[in-house]
Amino acid sequence: MFHCICHINLSLISLGIKSNPLSCIKPKTLTCFSCFSDFRAKTFFISHLYLFIIEVLKSSNGDISKIRGNVSSFTNRGGTVGLLETKDSFVVIDAQFPDFIQPLIDSISQVKGKPIEFLCNTHHHGDHTAGNFAFKDLTQKIVAQKNVPELQKNAAELAKNVDKQVYANILFEDQYLIKSGGERVTAYHFGAGHTFGDAMYHFEKDNVVHMGDLMFINMIPVYRVKDGSNFRSWISVLEKAISTFDKDTLFIFGHAPDKNLTKGNLENLTEMRNFLEASADYIKKSLAEGKTTEQLTENLVIPKFEHRKAMNKDFTKTFVEGIASQL
C-alpha cells in the first residue's frame, strides 16, 4: 500500500515514470494517504493513479538510437532491440513484448514504408521473443539458434501462454549468414553462456554486433542453470567473441540500467568476462570460509566490481546458487 506521496513518487520512478500525476496536489493539504477521510476520494485517487501508470506503460514509445551507419538500437521494456535498415528492407534483432515493440513496428511501416525481411532472436527468454507475436503477419523469416524453439516452448508451457508464441523457422547450429538488401548479417553461436541457445549477430558492413543477454552492463546478470547458464562456458563464449571481432567493433548489449549504456566496445566484453571469473572465485572463497549462499545473496558485492548492482534479490539468488552449484 502507498502511504504518502513520497512513496508514490518512488514507485513511479521504479517504473521509469518521471512525471508526477500528483503534482497538482499541494504538500500542505495532502501529504499522506491517511489524510483522505472520504472513502470516495480514496477510491477516486487509487483508480486514477492506477490508470495513469497503465497508460504511461502502454503509451511508451521507446527510444531509437543510431549506433553506426545503417544500424540502430531500440530500447523500451525488455531486451535491447537491434535494427538494420537496408536499401529496401529491415532486419530486426529481438522483439521484446508485443505492446512495447509495436512503436518500432509502426515507425518502420508508417514512416519508412519498408518491409521487415528478417526477425532474429538472440535467445528464448520472453523479453526477447514474446514480441515475435507482433511480427506474425509481417515476416515469415525468423532466425534463431536451433535450441531456441524448444526452450521457448517449455517456458511458454510453464507460463501458460503457448497460444501467444511465434517460433523461429530458420534454425542454425553454429553459424548462419543472412543476406538482405545488399547487406550481410552473420549469426554466431559460440556455445552456451546465458542460455543453451545464445546467438550474437554481426552487421558486417557497419561492424556492429548485437550480443543479446551475453552482455549485462553494470548489473548482476540473469543466471538460470536450467536454461543453460554456466560461468565457465559463458567466459569461453566471451573470449571467442573478443578474438573474433576487433577494436573498431561496436556492440549492442541486452541490458543496462541506463539506455545510454546499451552500446559499447571490446573493453566491455573483457569486463564482463573478468566479472564472471571474479564472481566464481569470490563465491568459492566465501563458501570455503563458511558463508552460506543465503548470506551471499543478502548483500552480494564482488570485489573490484562494486558498480554491478543486483536487479532484484531473486536474480541475485539464482546467480549465487547457480555458480555455487557449478564450482
Question: What is the structure's pLDDT at 40?
Answer: 52
Per-residue pLDDT, averaged over 122-143, amounts to 97
Q: Does domain 62-217+226-263 have CATH number 3.60.15.10?
A: yes
Which range of 18-32, 107-121, 227-241 scores highest in mean pLDDT? It is: 227-241
* Positive or negative: CA dihedral 311, 250, 81, 214: negative
Question: What is the structure's pLDDT at 60?
Answer: 61
**Is the pLDDT reported for residue 142 higher than 60?**
yes
Question: What is the structure's pLDDT at 48?
Answer: 45
- Chain segment 24-45, per-residue pLDDT in tens: 333 333 334 343 345 454 444 4
Return the C-alpha cell found at 102.
509495436
- Name the residue type at position 33: F
On whether the CB atoms of residues 81 and 122 are closer than 8 A, the answer is no
Distance CA 323, CA 276 (A): 9
Question: What is the structure's pLDDT at 107?
Answer: 87
Domain(s) labelled CATH 3.60.15.10 in the chain stretch across 62-217+226-263
Distance CA 183, CA 21 (A): 46
Question: What is the structure's pLDDT at 59?
Answer: 41
On whether the CB atoms of residues 99 and 112 are closer than 8 A, the answer is no
DSSP run (H or E) holding 279: helix 266-288
* Positive or negative: CA dihedral 17, 23, 25, 29: positive
Distance CA 206, CA 250 (A): 9
